[in-house]
Amino acid sequence: MKLFKETRWSGCAISTLSNLGFLIHGRKVWFGLGLLFLTFSASAQQAWQSKYVKIKDGKLQYIPDEQGDIIPDFSRVGYHQNEIAIPKVAVVATLSPTGDNDQQRIQDAIDELAKKPADARGIRGAILLQKGEYKIPGSLRISVGGIVLRGEGEETKLVATGKGQRKTIIASGTGKAVEIPNSRVKIADKYVPLGAKSFQVANASSLKVGDAIMVYRPGTQKWISDLKMDQIEAQANTIQWKPSDYNFNFERKITAIKGNTIFIDNPIVMAMEEQYGGGEIYKYTFAGRIAEVGIENLLLASEFANDTDEDHGWDAISFNKIENSWVSGVSSHYFGYSCVNLGGDSKQITVKDSKCFTPKSKIEGGRRYSFNNDGQLNLFMNCYASEGRHDYVTGAKVCGPNVFYHCVSEQAKADIGPHHRWAMGTLYDNVVSDGEINSQDRGNWGTGHGWAGVNQVFWNCKASKAAIQDPYVSGKNYVIGLTAKPYEGRLKGRPASAWDGQSGAGLQPASLYIKQVEENKKR
The total of structural domains in the chain comes to: 1
| pLDDT at site 10 | 34
Q: HSE on the CB side for 83, CA within 13 Å?
A: 6
* Domain with 280 in it: 178-230+237-285
pTM over 0.85: yes
| pLDDT at site 523 | 77
Local confidence pLDDT in tens for the 523 residues of the chain: 555 444 443 333 222 222 333 333 333 333 333 443 444 444 457 899 999 999 999 999 999 999 999 999 999 999 999 999 999 999 999 999 998 999 999 999 999 999 999 999 999 999 999 999 999 999 999 999 999 999 999 999 999 999 999 999 999 999 999 999 999 999 999 999 999 999 999 999 999 999 999 999 999 999 999 999 999 999 999 999 999 999 999 999 999 999 999 999 999 999 999 999 999 999 999 999 999 999 999 999 999 999 999 999 999 999 999 999 999 999 999 999 999 999 999 999 999 999 999 999 999 999 999 999 999 999 999 999 999 999 999 999 999 999 999 999 999 999 999 999 999 999 999 999 999 999 999 999 999 999 999 999 999 999 999 999 999 999 999 999 999 999 999 999 999 999 999 787 899 999 999 999 999 988 7
Give the CATH number, domain containing residue 221. Answer: 2.40.30
Does residue 202 lie in a domain region? Answer: yes
The string of DSSP codes covering 243-312 is GGG--EEEEEEEEEEETTEEEESS--SS-EEGGGT--EEEEEE-TT-EE--EEES-EEEE-BSSTT--SS
Does residue 223 lie in a domain region? Answer: yes
The string of DSSP codes covering 393-420 is EE-TT-EEEEEEEEEEEES-SSEEEE-S
Q: 229 Cβ partners below 8 Å, 6+ apart?
A: 240, 241, 448, 450, 451
Does residue 349 lie in a domain region? Answer: no
| pLDDT at site 52 | 98
Does residue 360 lie in a domain region? Answer: no
Return the closest-CA partner of residue 442 out of 415, 406, 476: 415
Does residue 329 lie in a domain region? Answer: no
Does residue 220 lie in a domain region? Answer: yes
Distance set, CA 436 to CA 65, 406, 483 (Å): 28, 16, 11
Return the closest-CA partner of residue 173 out of 379, 344, 373: 344
Are 59 and 523 spatial neighbours (Cβ–Cβ below 8 Å)? no
Does residue 274 lie in a domain region? Answer: yes
Does residue 260 lie in a domain region? Answer: yes
Return the closest-CA partner of residue 386 out of 365, 407, 364, 417: 407
| pLDDT at site 503 | 80
